[in-house]
Structure 1
Amino acid sequence: MNPVVQLLQGHRSIRKFTQQNIDREQIEAIVRSAQMASTSSNVQAYSIIGVTDQAMKDELAALSGMAYVASCPLFLVWCADLHRLRLACEKQQTEMVHGLLENFIVATVDAALASQNAAIAAESMGLGIVYIGSLRNKPLEVSRLLKLPELVYPVFGMCVGYPDQEPSVRPRLPMAAVYHENTYNDERYGEALDVYDETMKQYYLERTGGKKSTTWTQEMAAKYEKAVRAHMRSFIEEMGFRLD
């Protein structure tokens, strides 16, 4: 495998960081790499909020429920952003049609694509990252803290810093469970999920010294048997997005 593929396949989420700072040149390289991600029709419908202020990181840690947000040297908040596009339309004396589900999807996907470029750039420098989806637990409070305008919402956060731990690589689903040729085929899921359940059970037993014994399907069933962040629809609409 070439070094890029090795880097991609060696990804680990890092939740413990050293106190070493990230310099301005590194931040610029990460952001510029993010900007080169694919974007729908060049709309670039995302913004990145880089948080280094300790008091703000402390508050974001409290809002997300993730203590390591406070300990990372750089916390990036990835935002879907139609606000800048509305300003572009106004500059051309055109009214933006923003109340479409398609526009919401484009902005969210753009933010996700850019963030993954940033993650790979950071890891190529010896940095570690972890995504923080729990910013959406209290999205309105996060938006107020970051002073996000209408038509901007926080999709997720990302801790960035030098790793102070060496976690093992978490196994992923077998390729047979995610890659389909020509048409979708779920007939092989039974065997593939059985194999993955056993893989994850052994992974958790080894990772926790025998304290955790569960499977992937058990975890997914527990997660999706109840509503998660049901408040997001009303929040998104409050921020000016429409899901028509």
Structure 2
Amino acid sequence: MNDVITNILNHRSIRHFEDKLLTDEQISTIISCAQSASTSSYIQAYSIIGIKDKEKKRKLAELAGNQGYVENNGHFLVFCADLHRHEIIGEREGKNVIPTIESTEKFMVSLIDASLAAQNAAIAAESMGLGICYIGGIRNNLEGVKDLLKTPERVIPLFGMAIGYPTKITDQKPRLPLEHIYHEDQYEQNREVYVKQLQDYDNLISSYYEKRTNSVRNDRWTDQMAKMLEKQTRMYMKEFVQKSKMDLQ
């Protein structure tokens, strides 16, 4: 096992950071690593907005559900699906690109490109001794986020990433067993096997919480997921995406 694999397997979300800003060199390195990620057909359909302004961080934290670590970190990044530049490219080159960039396929490409870039950024930051936490909460109020960041049409802020020097390292939550995630040659559809894997994972997670909280909690993962998914949240997203002139076909 090499250092890269050890670093990846050691990942956990960090929500407590020192009051210390990243240097411009660190930021540049992290963004360069993000740009080195694979991109479908070289389209590079994403943008990254770095937030240094304290008031904007404070406002983003509020929009994300009053998450303190959105405001208090070494640097904050917002990853965006971005087909705005491709509209401009079409105009410059005299080509009708609108039907393509308004397709579901290119919308998916923009999401995938942004996600690949973000994970590269996360691995780079962690390799530098920094901690990161993905922030999906910015999608609680995307209208507010777009207004704050002044993003144009065909640009959608997807998620944030808080980066900084950790002050508190939390325990690593166990992931689903490999055999439940990884299928060979075809999808495993033996329901009895599938459910047994979930039950085993529930037992593992319950033990994890009992140990972590001195028996105050013994949550099951499937119960957590069912309760979360039962609540309808951010149901405005389809309308918002369409209003942003993305994924119209």
Note whether the superposition's TM-score is higher than 0.5: yes
Q: Are 2:131 and 1:122 equivalent residues in the alignment?
A: no
One-letter amino acid matched to 1:79: C
CA distance in structure 2 between the partners assigned to 1:217 and 1:5 by the alignment = 29
Residue in 2 that maps onto 1:229: 234
Residue in 1 that maps onto 2:25: 25
Residue in 2 that maps onto 1:170: 173
CA distance in structure 1 between the partners assigned to 2:159 and 2:189 by the alignment = 31
Residue in 2 that maps onto 1:133: 136
CA distance in structure 2 between the partners assigned to 1:179 and 1:124 by the alignment = 26
In 1, are the aligned partners of 2:20 and 2:73 still within 8 Å (CA)? no
Can you give the 5+ residue segments of structure 2 that lack an aligned partner in the other structure? none
Question: How far off is 1:112 after superposition?
Answer: 0.3
| Coordinate RMSD, CA, aligned | 1.0
Residue in 1 that maps onto 2:43: 43
One-letter amino acid matched to 2:195: G
**CA offsets, 1:90-137, max 9 Å, x none?**
110112222211111000110000000000000000000000001111
One-letter amino acid matched to 1:103: K
CA distance in structure 2 between the partners assigned to 1:71 and 1:204 by the alignment = 27
In 1, are the aligned partners of 2:40 and 2:113 still within 8 Å (CA)? yes
In 2, are the aligned partners of 1:104 and 1:243 still within 8 Å (CA)? no
Moved more, 209-218 or 15-24: 209-218
Residue in 2 that maps onto 1:54: 54
Structure 1's 92 and 163: CA in aligned 2 closer, same or farther, altered over 3 A?
same
Normalised to the residue count of structure 1, the TM-score between the two structures is 0.97
**CA offsets, 1:160-207, max 9 Å, x none?**
000010111110000011000000013221221111101111111222
CA distance in structure 2 between the partners assigned to 1:10 and 1:58 by the alignment = 30
Q: Are 2:113 and 1:148 equivalent residues in the alignment?
A: no
One-letter amino acid matched to 1:17: F
CA distance in structure 1 between the partners assigned to 2:96 and 2:146 by the alignment = 25
Question: How far off is 1:228 after superposition?
Answer: 2.4
Equivalent pairs, count = 244
Show the 5 A alignment for 1:1-244.
Answer: 1-65=1-65, 66-97=67-98, 98-187=101-190, 188-244=193-249
Moved more, 205-214 or 175-184: 205-214
CA distance in structure 1 between the partners assigned to 2:116 and 2:45 by the alignment = 11
Counterpart of 1:203 in 2: which secondary structure? helix
One-letter amino acid matched to 1:222: K
Normalised to the residue count of structure 2, the TM-score between the two structures is 0.95
Counterpart of 1:130 in 2: which secondary structure? strand
Can you give the 5+ residue segments of structure 1 that lack an aligned partner in the other structure? none
CA distance in structure 2 between the partners assigned to 1:52 and 1:208 by the alignment = 36
Counterpart of 1:109 in 2: which secondary structure? helix
CA distance in structure 2 between the partners assigned to 1:20 and 1:135 by the alignment = 23
